[in-house]
Amino acid sequence: MKTFILSAVTALGLSIGAAQAQAAAPEEVTIGYLNLVNAQLVTKSLGLVQKEMPGVKINYINVGGGGDMLRAIAGDQVDFGGLGNPPTAIGVTRGLPIQGIMVLNMLDYVEAMAVRTSANIKRLEDLKGKTIAAPFGSTTHYLLMKALNDEGIDPASMKIIDLRPNDIALAWFRGDIDAAWFWEPALGRVLEGDANLFMTSGMMTSRGYPTWDVGVVMNEFAEKYPDYVEKFVRAECKGIDFWLNNPAETAEIIAKELQLDLPDAARMMKGTEMVSCDEQLTAEYIGDSNKRGQFVDTLLSTSTFLFEQKRLPNVPSRETFENFLVPEYLESVVK
Amino acid sequence: MAIDKKATPRAMSFDDGIPQRQMRMPPIIRKNIENGKYLSFLTVAAVLGTWFLVTGMGWANPLFLPSPISVWQSFVEVATIGYQGSTLIEHVATSLYRILTAFAAACLVGIPLGVMMGTSRSAHRVFNPIIEFYRPLPPLGLYTLLVMWLGIGESSKLALLFLAGLPGIIIATIQAVSDINPNYIRAARSLGASRWDLVREVYLPGSGPTILTGMRISLGFVYTVLVAAEIVAATAGIGWMIWDAAKFLMGDIVIMGLIVLGITGMALDLVLKLVGRIIMPWTKLKTL
């Protein structure tokens, strides 16, 4: 009898232990990735996340822009996502349950304003009376408003419309718009025609308005499966390393993923700056667990601007953004 | 509601059980209560009450379900200061212009086409495949094509709303025309009515009530695609405001926009019913 009870207790203990071990691994992981040229495409194409998480079903969801990603996060449809600094500022101010865990990319001329060559636009002022498109709520919409603001041009003097990158290309070829600030790969298709590059996001970086995309994780997922957040970061870091060390193979992957010609893919790659994971922990980027980096300043100035534009109800404290950035996962991956 | 008076068992009427206070009410109010005329107000009050309760007790994330008070505040703010360059009235006017233009066009095309298809078998055979084919297509899929053809301006939006409203009107009109008692037509013919006389004197009066129902349902369909139509490249309109506010996670403006949209829809439906009562006094329309 005693043995029976003992074995019953042991069996119970074992089964509880098994259940706990099971709970520590998610059944599936959903990654929302932006329709953009960065190392996430490499990670996805090489199946690096899957290699880190054997037995877990990995779902990739392509999301059109920052506004849509915010909705996907608010609707709890993704575990991991990517957000530019304006949507990040919006999400954090609105109290979305997310934390920033790594730098996905710094934006240079992968995002740019194209103008119709025949429309003869030489200065920002020439945009008056024209129709300009940008995906609202995204990095480029933010930079467009910033650029106009800096030169004291009233945005109401032109027609600024909200279109997604693919719709911009469509509207461009129909001749409905004269200028658009958006990103590759749709940007490349537009630039093949009657268009030239007027201003790039990299130029705005040198004016003091850097834009970037940060990888985010839902708080609930991070609390439940901290190991898997680390695995995710490790996989993305491997993707970034691959990008930095194998440009030729990376271009092939990008070309395949986005159905582009190889030279286009290679050109677009140069417009995005990838930051190696140990560098991400420096003051220029996320910073470390002792002291957060310049991303906090960018988020603060972005939300201040959005507040002035009546897109946000208030500007959160510096501390809110410092808490949003969680470098600990990166730190243990880099170590 | 019309059957309530007879069907309601005596035990359920209000003057049983609590007689004194009820007796002092003006008879018209008492009669309305007995008829259940105030039940709609109860529904609205219950929904509002639940909303206050859920948000007041903190059961809902205010990001997704803001309190009625903050929705009201956003209403006041958008009505006075505006949302992204246009006041609420301008947003409503932009959307109503789109809805009414497209709906009017759908009626102008749909009713004659429906009469034709209902009265002539060959007309039915000619047009039916097109209508039956595009009717179940999802509006967003259709919209992509419309934008390619007509651009991102006003015409693609109007075309989408028009196409959403058209089939309901056509189908209701066909049904209405085919339901007319053939004896009326034979009688009119034997009295020497021409084809045009038949349409004017028999088909239209006889089919009016069903066509009106079709129009009301169609207006609903036009409303359902409004947000979809205003997603692409709009800068004003209630649908656009809802879509844009959702991007910036402004739940209060989203809900406020939906309420305003719903109220305008109810108001338009009411207008349709009233017009129906005036121009077709022989119909048995239940109002309110």
User: Could you report the per-residue pLDDT of B183-220, keeping only the tens digit for each?
Assistant: 888 898 899 888 888 888 888 888 888 899 999 999 99
Instruction: State how far the alpha carbon of B41 is from the alpha carbons of B33, B74, B274, in Å.
Output: 11, 24, 21
User: Per-residue pLDDT tens for B170-180?
Assistant: 999 999 988 88
How far apart are the CA of B112 and the nearest CA of chain A, in angstroms? 34
Contacts of B214 (CB under 8 A, 6+ apart): B168, B169, B171, B172, B173, B175, B176
Q: How confident is the model at residue B148 (pLDDT cuts 50, 70, 90)?
A: confident
B166 and B130 Cβ atoms separated by less than 8 Å? no
How far B129 CA sits from the closest chain A CA (Å)?
A: 30
CATH superfamily placement of domain A111-206: Periplasmic binding protein-like II (3.40.190.10)
A8 vs B144: which has the higher pLDDT: B144
Sort out which chain A residues have CB atoms less than 8 A from B84's CB and list them. 310
**Average per-residue pLDDT in chain B?**
85
Distance to chain A for B62, nearest Cα, Å? 10
Query: What are the structural domain ranges in chain A?
Result: 28-106+211-334, 111-206
Q: Which residues of A touch B151 (CB under 8 A)?
A: 171, 174, 176
Q: What local confidence, expressed as pLDDT, does residue B39 receive?
A: 85
Q: Which residue of B has its CA nearest to A91?
A: B249
Check B233 against A163: CB less than 8 A apart: yes
Chain A residue with minimum CA distance to B240: A162
Q: Nearest-CA residue of chain A relative to B154?
A: A176
Burial zone of A170 (CB within 10 Å; 0-12 exposed, 13-18 middle, 19+ buried): buried
Relative orientation angle of helices B251-279 and B204-224, to the nearest 10 degrees: 180
The whole-angstrom distance between A313's CA and the closest CA on chain B is 9
* Overall pTM surpassing 0.80 (yes/no): no
The enclosing H or E element of A33 equals strand A28-34
> What is the per-residue pLDDT for B219?
94
Q: Which among A172, A205, A203 has a CA at the least distance from the CA of A188?
A: A172
Q: Which residue has the higher pLDDT, B38 or B47?
A: B47
Closest A-chain CA to B235: A161
Q: Structure tokens of B92?
A: 């409503």
pLDDT, position B32: 75
* Reported confidence tier of residue B34, pLDDT bands at 50, 70, 90: confident
Inter-chain residue contact B248 with A137, CB threshold 8 Å: yes
- Chain B residues with CB within 8 Å of chain A CB: 63-64, 84-85, 147-148, 151-153, 232-235, 240, 244, 246-249
The whole-angstrom separation of Cα B250 and Cα B255 is 9
Residue numbers in B near A312 (CB within 8 A): 248
Distance CA A133, CA A144 (A): 10
Please list the residue range(s) of chain B that carry CATH number 1.10.3720.10: 82-279
User: Pick from A71, A159, A174: which is nearest to B246 by CB?
Assistant: A71
| Phi, psi (deg, nearest 5) at residue B60 | -115, 145
Cis peptide leading into residue B182 (ω within 30°):
no
Same fold, A28-106+211-334 and A111-206: yes
Residues on A contacting B at a C-beta cutoff of 8 Å = 67-68, 70-71, 74, 90-91, 94-96, 133, 136-137, 156, 159-163, 167, 170-171, 174, 176-177, 310-312
List chain A pLDDT tens, one digit each, 335 residues.
445 555 554 444 444 444 444 457 899 999 999 878 899 999 999 999 999 999 999 999 999 888 889 989 988 999 999 999 999 999 999 999 999 999 999 999 889 999 999 888 888 999 999 999 999 888 899 999 999 999 999 998 999 999 989 889 999 998 999 999 999 888 988 988 889 899 999 999 999 899 999 999 999 999 999 999 999 999 999 999 999 999 999 999 999 998 888 988 998 899 999 999 999 999 999 999 999 999 999 999 999 989 988 889 899 999 999 999 999 999 999 98
Q: Which residues of B touch A171 (CB under 8 A)?
A: 147, 151-152, 233
- Say whether pLDDT at B2 is over 50: no
Question: Does CATH number 3.40.190.10 belong to domain A28-106+211-334?
Answer: yes
Mean pLDDT, rounded, for B28-57? 85
Nearest to A162 among B147, B151, B244 (CB): B244
- Asked whether the beta carbons of A183 and A111 are under 8 A apart, the reply is yes
Q: Which chain A residue lies closest to B82 (C-alpha atoms)?
A: A310
**Helix, strand, coil fractions of chain B, as percent rounded to 5:** 75, 0, 25
Spell out which residues of chain A touch residue B239, defining contact as CB-CB under 8 Å.
none
Q: Would residue A182 be called left, alpha or beta, if left means φ above 0 and alpha means ψ between -120 and 50 degrees?
A: beta
Residues in contact with A126: Cβ distance below 8 Å, sequence separation at least 6, in sequence order: A119, A120
CB contact under 8 A, A91 and B249: yes
- Per the listing, tokens 């069903």 go with B210
Per-residue pLDDT, averaged over B90-109, amounts to 95
pLDDT tens for B6-28 read 444 444 444 444 545 555 677 77
A136/B233 Cβ within 8 A: no
Q: Do A139 and A85 contact (CB within 8 A), yes or no?
A: yes
What's residue B10's pLDDT? 47
Give the pLDDT confidence score for residue B1 in this predicted structure.
42
Nearest-neighbour CA in chain A from B152: distance (Å): 7
Q: What is the ipTM of this complex?
A: 0.76
Q: What is the pLDDT of residue B13?
A: 46
B171, B214 contact by CB (below 8 A): yes
Region B82-279: CATH code: 1.10.3720.10
Number of H helices, E strands in chain B: 15, 0
The 8-class DSSP code of residue B86 comes to B
Residue in B85, B235, B247 nearest the CB of A67: B247
Please tell me which residue of chain A has the smallest CA distance to B74: A313
